[in-house]
Structure 1
Amino acid sequence: MSDDVRVVKNDSEQRYEAWVGDERAGFVDVDERDGVTVALHTETEPHFAGQGIGTALVGGMLEAVRERGDRIVSHCSFVTAYLERHADEFGDLRADG
């Protein structure tokens, strides 16, 4: 399933969204300022649970953070766990240690 996930930045809602076809499957609320993206909260729609949507979403968000040259701070347990599991790939993005 996660190969079918499209991650897009929704500036007006201050979030990154995961889309499967024409349906929003999940999102990460963020606060972006001064070169730092703060991940606040991640949600996946219940009928998409367990399909890798959250993993694809957070990975896509972190790739976008890297492309902008920003750093990441997580106040979201899901994003924090992802960063810990993928420290070799994304640990350099952490602004909070």
Structure 2
Amino acid sequence: LKVERLEETLDKLNEEFFELTVQVLRSQEEGELLKQELRMHKESTAIPSVSHVDRAQGFPELLDSWATKRDEARLLEIQRSCIAQRIEETEAELLCL
């Protein structure tokens, strides 16, 4: 009975780990796209033009979006690491039975 309960727990943890991995990858990908957009934005503002002010105004929002996405990815990585540790602990407990 305890073995079944631990196996169910392990299945749920593995599923959660997989879902977090997908979220981490998606978040990192979105962060990279924002980083590229920031680079392009920076390069475009280096060329003087009439719309220079317009482009400069969007930069803080873009930077904020990138920072938020970066922080989100870090938080997901921490959650994923905690789940991985719980998986290891559950597997160790199963081996002792």
TM-score by length of 2: 0.29
Bigger proportion of residues as helix:
2
- Of the two structures, which has the highest relative contact order with CA contacts closer than 8 Å and spacing of 6 or more? 2
Bigger proportion of residues as strand:
1
> Highest Rg: 1 or 2?
2
